[in-house]
Chains A and B, each alone.
Chain A
Amino acid sequence: MNWDWDYAIDSLPLLFQGIVVTVELTVLGALLAYALGLVLALVRQVRVPVLSQLVYLFVEFIRSTPLLIQVFAFYYLLQPALGLRLSPFVTGFVMLGIHYATYTSEVYRAGIDAVPKGQWEAARALSLPRGRVWTGVILPQAVPRVLPSLGNYTISMFKETPLLLAIGVLDVLNRAQEAASETFRYVEPVTLAGVFFLLVSYPASILVRKLERRAGTV
């Protein structure tokens, strides 16, 4: 197998389009996962009757089925049934976000549980309103502790974007394949796509490890 630099360079513009999509999917999916995960964690923590149990079932269901099947099901079955027509891109980041929200909700829960009981009692002894206890006392202590775990899940999400090809989202790897399908030369584009993932994931995981050391992880 030989490496053709000219061909590699030719495939770059197409790969670059894919890189943008991968990054967008990851960022949007991650933001959704952070926010929705927090909501799920709070609903369970505050023990809203019925809703808490529903959230529990939802979390268990999502976590015990593969993301790929969820993406398929949401795109080809659920959306038509609901009369929705989201683009593959939107479907992609929404499903990534929802899937990972079930993991981040557990992360938040652990972070919230790790806040000492005395903090709740002190807040109560000062009569702080319930909402302020969360926003002023509990979450500011819980969230920094869970940042490394959130970071790890973000890296996982980043690496999972290629499976959105299933519904036609062209992320960087899928663009590489597209480039290759015209010429039947896979080595260069696929290698470059792999290098891209490596170049982002590896420094990111070093960063997360640094965070972990600083935060004293849950």
Chain B
Amino acid sequence: MDSHQPLSDAQAGTATADREMIRFDKVVKRFGDNVVLNELDFTVSPGEFVTLIGPSGSGKTTILRLLMTLEKVDGGTIQVDGEYLSHMERGGKLVPADEKHLRKVRRHIGMVFQQFNLFPNMKVLQNITEAPMRVLGKSRAEAEERGRELLEMVGLSEKVDAHPSQLSGGQQQRVAIARALAMEPDVLLLDEVTSALDPELVAGVLAVLKDIATSTEITFLCVTHEMQFAKDVSDRVIMFDHGQVVEEAVPEKLFTSPEHERTREFLHAVIDREV
């Protein structure tokens, strides 16, 4: 890392050298008395694939939901690509974001859910074209062409006219991935996207994700219990507990020689469960 070296004027001007795609600054999130995130700090660089691990209830889903603006922070700030997400600047001061601001920043971010959440009233292709047409203002022809490309990419060309209910869980999840990609997100959030699948369908979905992760510039923030997958694709793994970062490292290091006892315990527990 060369982040301690002084920046040249040119670098400072464009600020791309260590531009951050995601930045959490002392983020606090509570549900009633339950402090889920306790002054959480972490950053993710553009194009990075970061996996979040940690025990159940440690706040992994909450982090993704905050980024997707499905929840609001109780303290601290979140920035995406240098822009405040939780807040907005008004008259030189930071105030909590209003709905209009959220709508704007949300567009950079896509999310794939554990339960797929396809729209059952729309056919597969319309699930994918709906938002590009309504939100990005694409024409039907444009949106459908891109939709077909994406379906091909996730290996479901022949399901264009199917209804979601006619698909297996694995197929539905691949459609959901295509739907998220159709919005051309800078950041894609994956929350245990294979946990609801029958074991034999997991590999297909992970293969698609790996493909996308290696072939696009998208920044990934991923919560998964698939440790092999995490090892394969992650640039960095962050271990959470009690609403704070326990440690973070490249996967080779974190999975084989973690620094903290807490991480070791957690990895043991997960691996025991898998065997």
Residue pair A126, B179 in contact (C-beta under 8 Å): yes
Q: Does A214 contact B (CB under 8 A)?
A: no
Residues in B whose Cβ lies below 8 Å from that of A123: 119
Residues in A whose Cβ lies below 8 Å from that of B159: none
Residue pair A126, B131 in contact (C-beta under 8 Å): yes
Chain B residues within 8 Å of A, Cβ to Cβ: 68-70, 103, 106-107, 109-111, 113, 115, 117-122, 130-131, 134-135, 176, 179-180, 183
Residue pair B121, A140 in contact (C-beta under 8 Å): yes
Chain A residues within 8 Å of B, Cβ to Cβ: 116, 118-119, 121-129, 132, 136-137, 140-141
Do most interface residues of chain A lie in helix, strand or loop, or is the interface mixed?
helix
Q: Which residue of A lies closest to B130 (CB)?
A: A136
Residues in A whose Cβ lies below 8 Å from that of B109: 125
- Smallest CB–CB gap between A148 and chain B, Å? 18
Residue pair A126, B121 in contact (C-beta under 8 Å): no
Residue pair B135, A127 in contact (C-beta under 8 Å): yes
Residue pair A125, B134 in contact (C-beta under 8 Å): no
In Å, the complex CA distance between A140 and B126 comes to 14
Residues in A whose Cβ lies below 8 Å from that of B131: 126-128
Extra contacts besides A119-B117, A125-B111, A127-B183 (19): CB < 8 Å: A119-B119, A122-B117, A122-B118, A122-B119, A123-B119, A124-B68, A125-B68, A126-B110, A126-B135, A126-B180, A126-B183, A127-B131, A128-B131, A128-B135, A129-B134, A132-B134, A137-B119, A140-B121, A141-B120
Residues in B whose Cβ lies below 8 Å from that of A127: 103, 106-107, 131, 135, 183
- Smallest CB–CB gap between B195 and chain A, Å? 14
- Smallest CB–CB gap between B270 and chain A, Å? 26
Residue pair A126, B130 in contact (C-beta under 8 Å): yes
